[in-house]
Every structure is written in C-alpha cells, then in structure tokens.
Structure 1
C-alpha cells in the first residue's frame, strides 16, 4: 500500500534552489535532475548540485522541461533556450543562428532526440542541430506532443489529436478541449483535457472509467502497469492498480496536495514533484506497516512480535492491546476483547490457541474473538513466554522465577534444579527445541532434567541466536560471537563496527547472516564477516545498516527484554519497531554496485570540468570533487581514491566527497576514485581523470639533463684546466731543469773542460820544461796559475748564473733587485729599480733568460762602466715584457759593440740568450756617453706553450760567457 511506503521530502532547507518543481528526469547514470522555478540541480540522493560555476546563466532561472537523451545526457528547456548536457558540458542548440527562443512544447523521441514546437514550427534535434518537421495542415498551435513506441508522433492542439507517421498524417481524432497526450512504455497512448482521461483503443480514444482523479495535470504508467495521476490542485496523487485506487494527500505526509508530476526511477521508487518540494515514495527491502491509532488518537508503540502457525503475524503494543496482521491488513484486540491495557510481553501458541502474556496481568488465551485469563498463573511481571520442542511453554515472572506450563500443569524451577541465575534477562529456544536462559553472568541450558551452566558471558544476556557452527549472544556491552566448537567467545562492540553496544534482539537467516537490532539501528553482519571476526582473522567488521531509505518507518526497537524479532516459516524476518512491524526478505536481490562519478576539479579555487587538465607552472592547491548516483542508502556509500604518481595505495575517504593535494611536483598524474555501497558492491572501473602539472623551464627534464651536462662539463673543464696547469707547471719545471742541465753541460764543456784540457796540456809541457829548461818552467808555471784562477772565476760566475733557478719563488723584479748586492763593491754606482704596469707571472724559461741578459748588463755596468747611476725599468705591457737598463758610465766603442772585448763573451752571450726566447735586444752605447740596454720579449702563454721549449732547446746549443 502507498501509505506503508516511506515518504521522504526535500525542500530548500536541504538544498533545493526553489520548492516549486517544474520537471524531473533521471539520466542513465542514475542521477536525478530536478527543474524548479529558480534553477536546475542534480541530485545524488544526499546532495543537490547546482551549475552556477560551470553552466550557462539560463540554468539559474525557470526550467521548463527535462528529457533524457539516448545516452548519458539530458535535454534542458529553459524560458528562452534549449541546451544539451553531455560529458559535463552544456551545449546551446542554435536556431537560425540564435541561441534564444522560447520552446512551447517538448517531447522525447524513441532515439533519444527531442521534438520541439516553437514560433509556429515543428522541429527535431539531430546531433545538436535542429531540423524541421512537418505539422498537420492547418495546425498552427500545439499544446502537447508524444512519440509512441511504434514511432508515431501524436500532436494535441486543444481540439484534435493528430497522429503523424514519417511526416505524413496517419490519423485524426476529434477530442474537444483535449490539450494533453501521453505515450507509455508499453505502446499505449493516453489523452486528456484535465478532467477526463481517454485511452486510444485502435480506432479512436475512449473514456477511462474512474481513473482516480476528476482533475489532473499529468499521468504516468509505471513498470507494473499501474496508473498514477497528479492532480495539480487539491487532491494530491493517486495510483490505480486494477480497480483499486489509492490516494496520498497532505494528511498522509505529502508536502502539498498540488502535485505536478510523477517519475519512476530505475530502483522502482517514485519521485513526486510538488509546488512545496521534492518527495520520494520508497518501498525499500523492508515493508513497514503502521499500527492504526487507538480510538481517541492515542499512539500504540509496538514492543513484541509473534508468528502463528496459520501465518498470521501478531504484534503487541504498550497499553494498546495486540494486532493481528494478515495480507497487510490489521485487526486490533484490546480491552473490548478482554485484554487489559498493559505491556504485551510475548505470545505463544498451544495447539491452535493463541496466548498473550501481559505484564502485571498474567497470560490470556484467545477463545473465539475474545481473550480469557488463564488460571493458576503466578501473579507478577509475566514475560518472555517461549514454546519448547516438547510442546511445553516456559515463561518468567519477575522476582519469582522460571515456570513451565505443560499439559495444564505449572511447575516452578529454581536453585534446586540447577538454576544459578536469579536475575533472568532472556529465554530462548534453540534449533533443537531446547530451552536456554540468559542471566546476569551467562547462559544456562535445560538438559531435560535440570539446568547446567553452558557459557560464561560476564554481562546480562538479552538475546541469543544459533547460526550453523556458531553461537551469537547479545548483551548490554556488545555481541559475543563463538565459532565452531570453541568454548571462548570474542566480543564485538561499537568500536569494532557494531552499530551500538546494546543488542536488543538477534536473528540468523537461511544463509547464516546475523541480523542485529541494537538500541540505535537494525543491521546485518554477513556470515563471512562474523565468522572471520569470531576466529580472530579480522579486527573489525562493516555491518550493513538499514534506515528509513530501506523502507523502515523507524529503525528503533524498544529495550524491554521481549521478543522483538522473529524469523518466519517462509524465511522472512520480522522486527517490532516502535512505529509498527517491518518485514524483510533476506533472499531479495541486493542493491546494484555503486559507481563513482567525478564532479569537478578546482585549481586554487578556479573550477574546471572533470576532464583531462593541464595546469600552469607553480605551486597549486588541487581539489577533486566526486560523488555517486543514488543507491538505496546513499549516506552509507564510501569512497576510496588514489593519485597515481603520488599515492602509493588507495586511500579510504569514508563518506567525504572531495580531496585536496598541495605541493605536487611537476609531472603527469592520474586521479582515480571508486565508490562502494554499504554491502561492499563497487563498480569494477573507477572514475578517473589525468592531470598534467607543467613545470617551469628549470624544472623540465631537458633542463635537468642540460644542467647535468653543464655541471659535468664545468667539472671536467675545471679539472682539465687544473690538471693542465699542474701538468704545465710540471712540464715547465721539467723543461727548466732540462734546459738548465743542457746549459750547464754546455758551459762546463765550453769552459771548465776546455780550461782543464788546456791546463793538462800546460802541465805536460811544464813537465818537459822543468827537466830541460828549468828557468823557462817558472814562467810557464806562473801563466798556468793565472789560467787556473781564471778558470775558477769563470766557474764561480757560472754557479752565480744558477741564482734565478735557485730562487724561482721570487718574481723577475725581486731577482733583479737582489742582484744589486751581488755586484756592489762600493758606494757607487747608485742603483734604481722601477716597475710599471700590472705585474704578472712570467714563463720560467723567459724569466730565467731575461734574468741572465739583465745580470750580464748589470755586471758590465757595475764592474766595467765606472758609472755613477744605474737604472733598471721593468715594463709589463700587454703580452710583452720590456726591460731597460741604463748607466752613465764610460760607454763602449762601435768595435766593442760589434766584436766584444778580447777574452770576454758577455755581449755575445746576451744576444744568444735573447735568441733562445725570441726576444729583441738593443744595446745603445758610445764612448763617454754611457750604455742603454733595451730587451723586449713576448710573454703570451700560448706562444710559449707552442714554441717556447723548441726555441729554448735550439738556443741552448749556442755559446755564452
């Protein structure tokens, strides 16, 4: 019945832009689209999403129509435009180049395109373009259109219904004032004038007898051929099934009696568009029945439930008697039928007679249409009667004990019978018909002759269930689970996923799933989960919670230690909720898997469509938003996501609908999100989008590679230069040593050895002269002595020439300054040394040869020139070293300048040294006018690296002083 379904309402308080619903549609992805007087929204079962950021401004105004296309898209009619929504984009449909025109009538074609009438023209969409259609002759006004399953287009114009087939007129049916036409999914065609409904019977339209409403604005034929009518006025909505008509109005919870449309979604729910909000009629997997109010309007809360052998379901209330349910209809029994107004604590059946236990009043047996109190029932708080397998009935009387009723005899049991529990909290019969008693500490079992302790719990036991290979015990502190033959149980609490610690009642279905009624919810724990938890294989469970969205009018069971849940003989499970009994068939097909959908990407609060995206360089905050089309329990849909390239594994997002990332490195990423419904069902493919974070040029791979190459190149070049310089220094040292060795060898050969050879010959001659000419030998000995002194002097001079090599740590200027001390023997001459230009290091070969030339010039100035002033000026010019030595001595004649002094080789040695280094040497002198020596030599290192050693070696063979 309609009144037994759950009616849920959404208004502007829940996110609707406006309460007047103008149109409804559901796209194939499962989203519900709602048009209002003030904008378009998409609904996922929990949240309404508008399109102010990523949609045209027309979507913020009046929405005239919504039509599902042939794919996942939607046709949207506004007050001045037509849009096609597809792949998160709104495409404006142009007419003659215009984006704005007012559509008067719209109808869906079987192909997913739409028929349109505006500005006196019939048009049809064709892939986001408008193509003209043909109107019947003489028709200038269209009030409504519909395309039937056979492809015929039906057109109403307030006077006539036209049937068009492939653009040709196929039928014409006069219906005065008829402005409404509707084609259902089964091929039937309906028409109406708002007061009368007509059905096409093959040759014409015939009136529909008693359709449900006398005035209406729209009709819908659902998947079960039931006719729905929306009044659009004061009469709500009706549903006609065969000849039975049901009506919903404001008295039944409708937001308004002015209902404009009815839409059946893919889950079989019905959405009602009213002028006061959006409503949904939901059957759910539970069917809930409402206990009618007692006379006087008093509420009757349901507290216990029982199934009679004939299939009737009995529910007990608080001070409202009992209710029998058969075929969805209820029959109340209260004080009029002999039941006092007390708490109904349970039922049992003895033979074919039903008995009811009422607290403080006793047990009442049904005889005919009345209830009669059973005699000999102990006075007190009677509760929890249960029938054992042997036909006996056990019940408990508060503060007195446990009693058994068998064959009209009542027997009391206590400590003498092994019963150790004084505070009894529950009675139950297992699958073998044996009685179990739950007390403050645990379970005791009746073995046929006495009670024996079976299982220690340590908390008051409220309920029990015996799934195969296990035991489940509900307590105040959680659910104790025991698997197999284990004698130790494991406690499941709210911390481990149980929806509430107080377990009020407990059932197992045919598949050994556990159905748990706690103080806050009704839930199911699948067999695999509770077994794994009982065996210690998992640390928590994910229970399936059932809410009003599943058909429950209430999810609460009163904690009165009664039988509030039963498993019927047909396998269905019944729960006594405070608003009436609710029944569920655990064999029903479970809900479809959840599918995640990406809603958008925000980069630093700038919104983008959920498609592949390239982001400009820089640090950004990137937010992904997602959702899932409505499932049976959208509030329990959970999400997990990962950003491939950043996250190592899936991240559990719970019920959150967005995630943000900051500090991402430049590169390519792929964001994926998956949705899982409350039963663990998830679509096999995630929703995903690729995003590229573009780098600054210095963050690119080519720049990194180039930087590496440059760094390596710099290191190599620095190393090469350092090594080259070191090698050059070593080479110069080596060249210097080689040249010095060659020069010393040359000088020794040309001077010392020659002098020694000459001395040896003189000694041989002297030997002969001593014997033959003693007097002449004295003269020869004197000459030999003088010659040996000269040899010693030349040898000292040669050793002195090694000075520059010995002091190579000094610069050329320093070496020349030190040479003054070598030659000075008196106060004169006055010596002056100056340097101009930026001093720089001179190649060792050049430096030594320059020093030798300058030393020879200074030696001449100090020893032979008799000068009073000697000046030396060292000039460091670009790539040239210039040294000028001048004195004011006696000077030299041209003959001396040309041939040198007899027995001296200084001038010729200076020229030879200059030639070795490629220098130019100029000597200017005249008798009595002093001497001026000018030396110019190139100092560029590259020249000496190429030619220095070759020139030096070539020059080292020349003589010197």
Structure 2
C-alpha cells in the first residue's frame, strides 16, 4: 500500500502540472514549412509496386480516390492498390492518352485527352465528348469549373465552355486575346484565369468579359495561386514567377525561379512545390521571405529532392495536394508521396551512427557520434562545433553537460567543449555512461568490471563487490537525494547512498533483463530494459505489463511536460498516458494501452541496446528526442499531427468460385455458392497501412467482425436469404466513418430449400408413415387371420372328437337302448316310455350333428360368399325337406374376408332358425348389390316370431343376439321382422365401400382399416 500511495501522490502532482501546461501551451500545429523536403516522409510507387508509368495528370475525387492520368489510360489509387479504370456504362473511352484531370467539388471526374476528346466519369458511368459535340480536335491542356456551374476547357484551338451538352468556343467573343488556350485555373475568389499565347487574362466571378492581367507571358505550363492571393505561372522558357498581384507590382510578390517546371503548387502552408522535367522536385518553403531577385536552379533556397534521394524519377510532370495534406507527384516511372510524419527526422550528415544525446540549453540536443563532429541539433537544423572526438556517452546535471568517449571526458560551457580528464586506461575504446558526482567530480563506467570515480584530480576504481555479476554499469543516474543509481546487465540495480549500497534484483521483483534506462519520478524510479518496463519504490520492484504485445528492448524512458510516459523500444516509440500508468499501479491486473510510433511515423531503425544509452531525451522546450541505429527523430508531444478526416469507404467487387464482378447496388448469388468474397477499401491516403476495417452481414452476423487492415470479407457457404453487408473504417488516428458503405446480398435457394420441396418432403413422410402403418396393419391382420385359422382348426378338431367319440358313443347307447326296448312288448306302458326316450335321443343326436356341422363349417373355406351360401343350401337340403333357395345379383368379387365370414354366419344362423322353428315350406336367401349397398336377405313363410322374442330374444337361446353382434362387427345395419301374412325376414345392409375396400378411396380404406 505504501508503494501505491506514493506513486499515486506523484501521479496526482503530474496531472495538475500537465493540466496547467496544456492550458498554457500554444495550440497551433507546427508549420510544415519549418521542415526541409528531406524531412517529409517519402514513399515511391514504381512499376514494380504496380504503379503506372508516364503519369501526366493527377486529381482527387470527392470519394477520396487518387486518379492518375497516363499516356496509356486512366488509373485510380486507394493508397494500397492501383486499378485501371474502365467505365461499365456509357462505353469505353474514345482515347487513351490523358492530358488533364479535373475533380469538381460536387463529385465525378473530368478527363481531358489528347486530340480533342473529353469524358465525364460519375461512378461507373461515363459520358464522352468529341468533335460531334463541338469539342475542338486539339489537346485539352486543362479543365476547370467556376462557381456558377460552368465547365471550361483550355485547348490547342482556344477556350471552350460546355453549354447544354455541347462545347462552344468563347474566347474571342468574351474578349480573350489569342487563338490558343494553354492553361486555365480557378482561384479562391471564383475567378477564371486563362493563359493564351498572347496574354494572361481573368474572368470575374459571374462576369461576361475577360480582363487582361499581363501580356508579358511565355508558354505557360501551369497557373497557381499563392497564399496572399497572387497568381503565379510556370513558363516553359522563363521559369516560375508571380504574374499578377492586383494593384501591386508582380515583381514585389516574390523572386523568379529559373528552372523548367512542369507543374506548380502552393500547399496549405504556403510552400511552393515544382516538379521538373529531368531534375526532380523543387520546394521553396517561404517564397515571400526570399529576396526579389532571380534564383537559379541550384540555389539552396530551392530545396531539391531527386532520384538518388529516393524519388521514383527525376522526370516529374504533375503535382497536387490531397484533402489530408499529402503532396503527390507523378512522373515518368511512377508516383511519389510526401507527407508530414509524426516524428521529425534530424538532418544529420550521412554516415553518422551510434548517437549519444543530451539536452541542450533552451532547446535542441547535443549529439555526438563515433565518426562525426559534435553537433547541436534542433527541429530546424544542425550546427556542428569544433570537437571532432568520438563521443559514446553524455549526461547533464546542475553543473553542466558531461561528454565521454575514447579520448576522455569533456565539459560543455556556453556551447564550447573543455577537456576534463583522460580515461583511466588509455587503451580503452570508449565510455558506457558518465554522470557528475555533484562535487566537481564524475562517475564513469567503462568496459571493465566495476565503476570509476574521478575526484581530486585522480581516478578511483570500485569493483562493486555487492553486485552479483562481474560487469560494468550500462546506465548511471543521480537522483534528488544524491543517490547514485547503476543499472547492470542480467537484471541488477545498485543504489549507492551515504548509508551504503543496496542491490535490487529478481528477488525484489525486478524482471526487466538488462537494465538500459532509468527515470526518476519522485519516490519512484522507472526502469527500462530488454523485457519491458518496471518501477522501483522503497526498495521493491514490480513490472508493468502492457496491453497487446509486450514491450521489448526499452533503452530510453522519459516523461513529457504533460506527464505522459514515452519509451523508446524495439517496436518503436510508445506513449503511455499518465492516467493509465497510475491505474496500472493501483490495479495490478490492469494493462495500460500505448500509442505506437514506428517506421510509418518516420522512425528510422531500432534503438541501441548497449551503447550509447539512454536513447530518449527531453529538451528544455519540451520536445522529445529519440535515437536509433539509423538516425535521430523528435516530436512535440503537445502538437502531435493528427488526421481528423474519416476515410471514405467503398465496396469494390465481389467474387465467388466462378469469377469476380464489380460491385453494384446489390449482389445476386445463385444457389450452392460455396465461397463469397467481398472486396472493399477506404481512401485514406496518408497512412493506408493503418486503416482498420470492421464489417457485418446483417441477417447473418450477430456482431461486427474486426478485419484489421484486411480489405476483404469472406463467407463460406452463405445460407439462402436476403442480407445487407456493411463495412466501416477508421483512419490511423482512430477517426471512424460510421456510415461506411453497404450493399444488398441475395442468395438464391436451391430446389431442396424451396417451400414446395419442404411440403413435398412432408407429404412423402406422411405417405411413408401411412405405408408403414398400413403394412403394420396388414401384418397384424395376417397374424389375426393365422390365429383365426388356428381357432377354426381347433373347432374342427373338437368337432371330430365329438363326432368320433361322444356322438358315436351316444349312437351306440341309443342302438343298445333300442335293442332293449325291442324286447319289451308293445302293449307295455314301459315300451311307450322307452320309445319316447329314444325319440328324444334321436332329436339330441340330430341337434348335436348340427352343432358339429356348425363347428366344421367356415366361410373361409370358400373364396366367394355366393358359392358358400349355395353349399350351405345343399347341405341343409340333404337333411331337411324344406327347400333353401339362394339367389345372387351383382359382382361379388373382392368381398372383404371379414364381411364375407360375418355375412355367412348371419345367413347360416337365419336359415337354421327358419328350418328349426318356422315350420314353413320355403326359405329364400338373396344376396345382391344395389346402388351403394350390399344387401343380404333371408326370408321364410313359416309362423313368424313373437314380438317379445324379437325384442328380448328367447331365454337360453342366442341366435338373434348373435346375428346383431355379427352385423355390428362389420358396421352393417340389420333388421329382423315378422310379416303379417306369416314368415320372418332377416335383412342386412352395409355400404359397398365397406364390403369391397378396393373399390373405395385410399382415405376411406385407411379409415376402415383404423376402425
């Protein structure tokens, strides 16, 4: 807790100081004119990087694209990729050699070609103009637009204006002298400037006649406006000069620059840029500050950047400044960009390495190297001094600046080095670290174990026995309490005070590896090393873990006037906000974020890890300086350049496994699309490598996907449906274009994904289920039939047993009893009783035979009901004298088995009852198909049946009840009635669909089956 309270208190002090400094500091950004052209971040794209050659014109449209007109066609550039442009609508261009470009503020692009052709591009549509629309056949040198909406073109045959789709010549009719218009320009006031072979003239805003500004002009290549409103021209033979300044003399507006410039541009800070045809780029930072005289091409006042400096080509023909402030130059071999980097490189002499730095008085730093003289370096230049000795270490204290090298020690007084002492070993090659002791002497670390102290005119060597390793300190620092801090290799720090030496190492929580940087911060001392950043308070150390990738190789550690931390690390220069660092000390699990400044910000090389140390210095003016193996850079932490413009986003194309197509308002994809790629871009041209994208397919993605700097989204097997693809982008400073770009995506359904296919599948499943159910019922019916057959077989067995045993035995008994009865005389009463008993026995045998016949009889033995009924009639005819007549009508094929059996049973029972009880003379059995019903009728002409018997049945008999039960089994209606004229009528009716299932529909059959 003591550790945290102490650091939190010092953090609070820093925050108060930082707030005051933020209020007091000037908020204006540094003027880019303070930079030399060599201090701009330069990037070149040649044919090897995909850039076109022979760039003749440049323009930037409202969507952020940089357009390149070349001798072989039109290209556009999004900062990453060059793309040759072909319009999708309106036909291809009528020519290929581009002479001029103009991007109206309202959008679109005008393209002027050689030999009398112009085109206007709006998205993917192009409108072309040629001689048929009134355009002269000469080259279009320039195209421009005035605030009134008119479009003008300077051609070899004069000035023309677009009027309702036709070009009309307007030069002579509006007072413009000359026959040719070599160039034109629209200034900030909306005036149209035109250069002819005879004069430079201007048309007032909304005016109808030109006014001549000067007739002393040569062949004008370009016209430009300076910051003060003066008009400058670049002449093919006369160089670059002011041509009009209103009422004043143009000669007072600036010098004449004697160089053959093919272009002309005043940037936003007022610096003049001039591409040349064979001599690279010229830049004049402050034209108005130059003397009013002729300045030659080799003058130092015109900064020079040529091919040996990295320019793609010394032959440059066009120059523009984009909306983010970058300068673009087109030449014969490609494209070049100059931008203001966050880190300002120092203009050191070539060949300088191993930079030892120390803050100079007031501003800037002193820089010593092994091979170049000691120099004072600031943001505006470099000033060498007479000391040519190699310098390998430097420091500053209250007594002044210390310098150390192989030649000894020096002190700087009023910018002049004074020898202080030779090294203790003449054969030593340098000094690793040096600090004053506050008493006129110095502590020095050389490449020998221990430390050396120069005091009272001599050297004292301390082997430092308390240190567990045998080495010399890499860094030295005196704190406010007059303690000497020594940082060693392999994670060791020695603190020397009057109370003795204290060693801080891994046992105390230190884990930075080689200690290469020390920074005092009140009660805390921050430590930088090869493994990151740590802090020591009250003899205890702890590490600070950063968000993202861990820091490595921290060899410089400073705090700016606002309190923020800056580390010179292997990844680059990292800024950590003081509030985040304070929170990291309060919350051990918190990982503070850092802002990285790397090679894209102008950092050359990586910081030294051994010597000279440290590699980071705070100058008196608050500017921070960082040394690397390849140079020195600086930054003003109060005015870090920032890009406030959100990048325009566009969707370029989409591709599948079949091919690639340009993106339109919507994408229609066929079914079975396995992979969809959507290419998008953002036209942030300053640092396109740091543009970050995120995208989302609405309807498919549940959240935004972070694409990093990838410019393509990939979807595998997108399901059918309607989606909206959206993409947004953020520039290098995190400014986000929230609106982004979007496109509709429609993925067609396959046939198996159609609704009708699902219905068909559902129907097929239902049919299969029905079929399975039907087969199951058939199986159950087969099993039931088998069981019925078993029952019938059992009935037949019982019938045989009754016939062969019981009936035969009873018949034998009857015959025996008859034999006994025959012995009794007829006149005996006993004989009559015995005869009556024998009659009763015969009746019982007849009835028993009938029952046995019923057990054996089964309609299933016959394939058709009519045949079975006739067989039944024949069987009764052999035993009874009453005839049984069977009559059938209609086709009875296909009769259901169960219906057949039950109808047969009903008919048999009705016939049996008629023969047994009716005492009639005839029994008629009729079976017929009538309309939609099957009718079975059994009629006799006997004595009929009593009403009570019809209603309740005869006690002990079950025939009528059995008839009704059989009818109910097959869903038939049965009626049993006695006629007035005598006799009984049994009638059974059931639907044909029930009796003949194959004749009914499948739904009816299914219903009947379920029943």
TM-score, normalising length: structure 1: 0.72
Deviation at 1:173, TM superposition (A): 4.3
The aligned runs of 1:278-677 (5 Å cut-off) are 278-293=335-350, 299-325=351-377, 328-333=380-385, 337=386, 339-340=388-389, 342-348=390-396, 351=399, 354-359=401-406, 361-366=407-412, 371-375=417-421, 378-379=424-425, 380=428, 381-387=430-436, 393-399=442-448, 401-404=450-453, 413=462, 415=464, 422-430=471-479, 434-440=483-489, 441-456=491-506, 457=510, 459-466=513-520, 472-476=526-530, 478-482=531-535, 487-490=540-543, 497-498=549-550, 501-519=552-570, 521-527=572-578, 535-537=587-589, 544-547=596-599, 549-557=600-608, 559-589=610-640, 590-592=642-644, 595=647, 596-604=649-657, 605-609=659-663, 611-630=665-684, 632-677=686-731
2:40 aligned with 1:23, yes or no? Answer: no
2:145 aligned with 1:109, yes or no? Answer: yes
Find 1:199's aligned residue among 238, 243, 246.
243
Find 1:153's aligned residue among 192, 198, 210.
192
2:670 and 2:249 map into 1 onto residues whose CA distance is 64
Look up the match of 2:112: 77
Q: Highest relative contact order (Cα 8 Å, sep 6+), 1 or 2?
A: 2
Look up the match of 1:243: 289
Per-residue CA deviation, residues 760-786 of structure 1 (Å, 9 max, x unaligned), is xxxxxxxxxxxxxx9999889968975
Per-residue CA deviation, residues 31-88 of structure 1 (Å, 9 max, x unaligned), is 43322223333333333333469696549943332322224543333457544444x4
Look up the match of 1:910: 925
1:954 and 1:13 map into 2 onto residues whose CA distance is 113
2:897 and 2:584 map into 1 onto residues whose CA distance is 89
2:269 aligned with 1:219, yes or no? Answer: no
- Residue 503 of structure 1 aligns to a residue whose secondary structure is coil
- Residue 258 of structure 2 aligns to a residue whose secondary structure is coil
2:232 aligned with 1:184, yes or no? Answer: no
1:809–1:637 Cα change, 3 Å: farther
Deviation at 1:248, TM superposition (A): 1.1
Are 2:154 and 2:182, in contact at CA under 8 Å, matched by a contact in 1? no
Deviation at 1:665, TM superposition (A): 0.9
Are 1:598 and 1:626, in contact at CA under 8 Å, matched by a contact in 2? yes
Deviation at 1:588, TM superposition (A): 2.0
- Residue 972 of structure 2 aligns to a residue whose secondary structure is helix
Are 1:514 and 1:526, in contact at CA under 8 Å, matched by a contact in 2? yes
2:744 and 2:151 map into 1 onto residues whose CA distance is 34
2:415 and 2:564 map into 1 onto residues whose CA distance is 39
Are 2:95 and 2:117, in contact at CA under 8 Å, matched by a contact in 1? no
2:727 and 2:353 map into 1 onto residues whose CA distance is 44
1:73 and 1:95 map into 2 onto residues whose CA distance is 19
Deviation at 1:22, TM superposition (A): 1.0
1:221 and 1:462 map into 2 onto residues whose CA distance is 46
Deviation at 1:648, TM superposition (A): 4.0
Are 2:472 and 2:488, in contact at CA under 8 Å, matched by a contact in 1? yes
Find 1:168's aligned residue among 194, 197, 208.
208
Deviation at 1:247, TM superposition (A): 2.6
2:891 and 2:928 map into 1 onto residues whose CA distance is 24
Per-residue CA deviation, residues 322-367 of structure 1 (Å, 9 max, x unaligned), is 112356332323xxx4543x34322446646x442113x2102346
2:873 and 2:591 map into 1 onto residues whose CA distance is 99
Deviation at 1:412, TM superposition (A): 5.2
Deviation at 1:461, TM superposition (A): 0.9
Deviation at 1:603, TM superposition (A): 2.9
2:973 aligned with 1:950, yes or no? Answer: yes
Unaligned runs of 5+ in 2: 1-35, 291-300, 786-826, 880-889, 940-966, 988-1011
Are 2:974 and 2:986, in contact at CA under 8 Å, matched by a contact in 1? no
The aligned runs of 1:118-129 (5 Å cut-off) are none
Are 1:573 and 1:585, in contact at CA under 8 Å, matched by a contact in 2? yes
Deviation at 1:463, TM superposition (A): 1.3
Deviation at 1:11, TM superposition (A): 0.6
CA RMSD after TM alignment: 5.2
Deviation at 1:24, TM superposition (A): 1.4
2:431 and 2:38 map into 1 onto residues whose CA distance is 35
1:817 and 1:60 map into 2 onto residues whose CA distance is 107
Find 1:10's aligned residue among 24, 41, 45.
45
2:121 and 2:522 map into 1 onto residues whose CA distance is 53
Unaligned runs of 5+ in 1: 294-298, 733-773, 827-835, 860-898, 923-943
Are 2:652 and 2:681, in contact at CA under 8 Å, matched by a contact in 1? yes
Are 2:362 and 2:620, in contact at CA under 8 Å, matched by a contact in 1? no
Deviation at 1:466, TM superposition (A): 4.8
- Residue 257 of structure 2 aligns to a residue whose secondary structure is coil
1:356–1:484 Cα change, 3 Å: closer
1:592–1:714 Cα change, 3 Å: farther
2:124 aligned with 1:89, yes or no? Answer: yes
2:862 and 2:289 map into 1 onto residues whose CA distance is 124
- Residue 563 of structure 1 aligns to a residue whose secondary structure is coil
- Residue 973 of structure 2 aligns to a residue whose secondary structure is helix
1:621–1:229 Cα change, 3 Å: same
Q: Which stretch of the first structure deviates more once superposed, 626-635 or 787-796? A: 787-796
Are 2:370 and 2:391, in contact at CA under 8 Å, matched by a contact in 1? yes
1:152–1:808 Cα change, 3 Å: farther
Are 1:382 and 1:396, in contact at CA under 8 Å, matched by a contact in 2? yes
1:469 and 1:26 map into 2 onto residues whose CA distance is 55
Are 1:106 and 1:114, in contact at CA under 8 Å, matched by a contact in 2? no
- Residue 212 of structure 1 aligns to a residue whose secondary structure is strand
Are 2:87 and 2:126, in contact at CA under 8 Å, matched by a contact in 1? no
1:820–1:467 Cα change, 3 Å: farther
The aligned runs of 1:251-270 (5 Å cut-off) are 252-270=309-327
- Residue 378 of structure 1 aligns to a residue whose secondary structure is coil
Per-residue CA deviation, residues 789-840 of structure 1 (Å, 9 max, x unaligned), is 55874685477457667969987599789989989999xxxxxxxxx99974
1:670 and 1:840 map into 2 onto residues whose CA distance is 64
1:282–1:443 Cα change, 3 Å: same
Are 2:270 and 2:285, in contact at CA under 8 Å, matched by a contact in 1? no
Q: Which stretch of the first structure deviates more once superposed, 802-811 or 88-97? A: 802-811
Are 2:117 and 2:130, in contact at CA under 8 Å, matched by a contact in 1? no
